[in-house]
Structure 1
């Protein structure tokens, strides 16, 4: 990159941005969407979702869902046009599509009843963490079953009423009759087994017996998300909407949830970019693309192969149509002024005029679905350092004498290391990262870092590192001044932030796009070692593949904390397990088809 200063522009950028925003506002009012418009960011304003009014397709008590001919717009942008959503009761659907396609918007439209679902179908949306208060975690899950809670409350009121003095025989009989009915209903829903079921669900999601008794306000955001998922699984709604629920789960919990969903007999609509999870869970796939919903049978791998074949067929059909039209046009051009062939040429002209407009298949048909080569990431080549570059020798860390998090840790990260750090939540993986990046000092033992070592960190809470009101270009300008705007945009383009996206306020970007800004920032640090804490959480499948490829090609050291088995197997050749306050290397078997992370996952043997 050049070291000269930024190129000055004679254009008043403030006036230009205001004019563009005004034009975009006018177009939005007319129902038009300008894909090149730069949106404004206001954290206090919630976008409106506009959905056409629909009539329910049936008044029966069927749990099947079919909504036809509906549109959804989000912040002036068309998400779905004349779409149809069909889901059969008991099937598990994976909703896939590129970042920003509108998957979460669709789930919210269903959950908020903006798309009309029959009233007898209970819908539950796992999207946001629950509000923390003094309620114990186990009781919080039990309270999620509104029907059971209502019956128990009625049972208490009836039991108190029947013991009141002065009741007439008729009143006593009516109360007794209703009480029997309540007891029968409680027995029907197996109310007596509810606590053990709730405890089993919490245990599967990683809550220890002590944690199940702890107040919800004592849990972090990630654990509250788990609690929200536990409440949903306990309630067993007719339709469960799950948006990236594996983001906050460790390997044992992901395996447990896969097994749990495989026995789920209600309808499930799940958004996930974890392909192994979708392969294990989904019976069908719905692809949100080009403002429509395309249904496919089978799991994600089946969908990818079917979709790829369909795209090839579309391309072959397009090419055949191009050749056919070229043949007609060649005949017309050759013979239209020949007296003997003029009539035939006129006939060909009429045929050509009647043909429908020919549009090529969109180039990004497979974008966001892991089609190789559609997105490309690249980290700068790392300067060579002589070993050792990053070592821990018998390190112990604790916040006080009574609470030791890690003990006796010995660890060596080299320039050629590609390490996966795995283990249950709360085992000390984040503490390991703090120690490696010098954010925390060990209680005892030694952490050695090479004097010239540069480490770039992708934090699980990377959004906190960004300035949401600034554009991606402005953010990089502030961190690394002295380059032209074109150079900053070229770096961002390396991570898929092209066109006006690089000029939008970061607050208007999707979660995956914000992650890409951080990767660009990390690259500009010219690091020797990359440390990444859950880097795939918000990325679409394209970007996950691109990141894996970039990390494999990077000539520096890499340490990754992630629950994404496929991603880790694509990048890492070592697995270190953080559990019980210790760190140990997992020794996989050579000569087997499974990658080392897959082997570790299988070794867990988690059951429902």
Structure 2
């Protein structure tokens, strides 16, 4: 977030202005301040629940954020006649988290509709944007496949991210990024009854309650475990919790339990809380919201934790249980090998084949 501010439409005074913040995979942040100061509003802007009225927010295109509301049971109150297992399968059955679809940043605005009516000249042809079909890596960024109104998918055009944003379609870009990020998380673990039951078990909910009992009959602590299991199913990078002491103690992960569950989470954590003892023990960085400002104190935990080692997998499973072979990392070519590879690509182009500069040559 850079120089971000937010003002409610019904008010003249901004809730906060000039907020410049960052969160990383190693962050442990406490967001504090008096009631009504704007803590929850700040976090909603951070997570994409709400759009800022000034400044800019940026997140990595593949970032996955999990959010647990202050009233944790809000997440499941419309699904009490489902078992925990059925609820998680329902929530992710569309290939991403259904709760993410409710975010303001995912809803079409008047500006989006106006952008669709703009005419863009591509290769001398006047066209209007219909939707984005897919994306692919382009050096250090991404480019997106644009389908034009009244045209078929075979006439789609690949355009760089910045070009599409400049055309007024940042929301479409962010929406496709969110779908791809969710897909990557869900590919790591098939959405099956057995896998969901195992995941709920890791959160301390036995199979008897995870798969064979409706949520209406669960205790408060068991329901909290369901909420936490559901929001972490797609393996988020950042976990955001609003007043977690209201619900974590019910399942033994709050102040009474030493906050162990928060400490063990492998990604970044942002906590909104009035419980100073709890946050002081867990969070070296503090965001204090009040008086229309956000003050940052403490030491940001950015790149200070031990290095994470990534192991290249030879195969993974998608959400349907299909096994997919994974290509290993390409070795860096010597100058002589790179020259030979370029010569081979040029020869293939001369034969009329489709070749990209980043394409590896066959052995």
Q: TM-score, normalised by structure 2?
A: 0.50
Q: What is the rounded CA distance, in whole Å, between the counterparts of 2:51 and 2:275 in structure 1?
A: 29
Q: Relative to total residues, which structure has the larger helix share, 1 or 2?
A: 1
Q: Secondary structure of the equivalent of 1:489? A: helix
Report the counterpart of residue 245 of structure 2 in structure 1.
536
What pairs up with 1:182-581 in 2 under 5 angstroms? Answer: 392-400=1-9, 402-466=12-76, 467-481=79-93, 483-502=191-210, 503-538=212-247, 539-540=249-250, 542-544=252-254, 548-581=259-292
* Cα offset, 1:508, TM superposition: 1.9
Q: Is the 8 A contact 2:28 2:285 kept in 1?
A: yes
Q: What is the rounded CA distance, in whole Å, between the counterparts of 1:506 and 1:557 in structure 2?
A: 29
Q: Is the 8 A contact 2:253 2:261 kept in 1?
A: no
* Cα offset, 1:490, TM superposition: 1.6
By relative contact order (CA 8 Å, sep 6+), the higher-ranking structure is 2
Q: Secondary structure of the equivalent of 1:479? A: helix
* Compared CA separation, residues 472 and 541, structure 1 to 2 (3 A): closer
Q: What is the rounded CA distance, in whole Å, between the counterparts of 2:92 and 2:14 in structure 1?
A: 39
Q: Secondary structure of the equivalent of 1:452? A: coil
* Cα offset, 1:541, TM superposition: 6.9
Q: What is the rounded CA distance, in whole Å, between the counterparts of 1:567 and 1:525 in structure 2?
A: 27
* Compared CA separation, residues 500 and 531, structure 1 to 2 (3 A): same
Question: C-alpha deviations, 1:179-225, integer Å up to 9, x for none?
Answer: xxxxxxxxxxxxxxxxxxxxxxxxxxxxxxxxxxxxxxxxxxxxxxx
Q: What is the rounded CA distance, in whole Å, between the counterparts of 1:442 and 1:480 in structure 2?
A: 28
Q: Is the 8 A contact 2:63 2:237 kept in 1?
A: yes
Q: Is the 8 A contact 1:395 1:444 kept in 2?
A: yes
* Cα offset, 1:565, TM superposition: 3.0
* Compared CA separation, residues 541 and 507, structure 1 to 2 (3 A): closer
Q: TM-score, normalised by structure 1?
A: 0.31
Q: Secondary structure of the equivalent of 1:559? A: strand
* Cα offset, 1:463, TM superposition: 1.8
Figure out how many residues of one structure are paired with residues of the other and give that number.
Answer: 197
**What's the Cα RMSD here?**
2.1
Gaps of 5+ in 2: 94-189, 300-363
Report the counterpart of residue 6 of structure 1 in structure 2.
none
Q: Is the 8 A contact 1:397 1:444 kept in 2?
A: yes
Report the counterpart of residue 162 of structure 2 in structure 1.
none
Q: Is the 8 A contact 2:225 2:251 kept in 1?
A: no
Question: C-alpha deviations, 1:561-594, integer Å up to 9, x for none?
Answer: 1223333233211111111111102359xxxxxx
Deviates more, 1:424-433 or 1:560-569: 560-569
Considering only CA atoms, is the larger Rg found in Structure 1 or Structure 2? 1
Q: Secondary structure of the equivalent of 1:526? A: coil
Q: Is the 8 A contact 1:549 1:571 kept in 2?
A: no
Q: What is the rounded CA distance, in whole Å, between the counterparts of 2:73 and 2:252 in structure 1?
A: 21
Q: Is the 8 A contact 2:3 2:19 kept in 1?
A: yes
Question: C-alpha deviations, 1:213-253, integer Å up to 9, x for none?
Answer: xxxxxxxxxxxxxxxxxxxxxxxxxxxxxxxxxxxxxxxxx
Q: Is the 8 A contact 2:2 2:56 kept in 1?
A: yes
What pairs up with 1:82-121 in 2 under 5 angstroms? Answer: none
* Cα offset, 1:509, TM superposition: 1.9
Question: C-alpha deviations, 1:511-541, integer Å up to 9, x for none?
Answer: 2222211111122121111111112213337
Report the counterpart of residue 17 of structure 1 in structure 2.
none
* Cα offset, 1:462, TM superposition: 2.8
Q: Secondary structure of the equivalent of 2:50? A: coil
* Cα offset, 1:450, TM superposition: 1.2
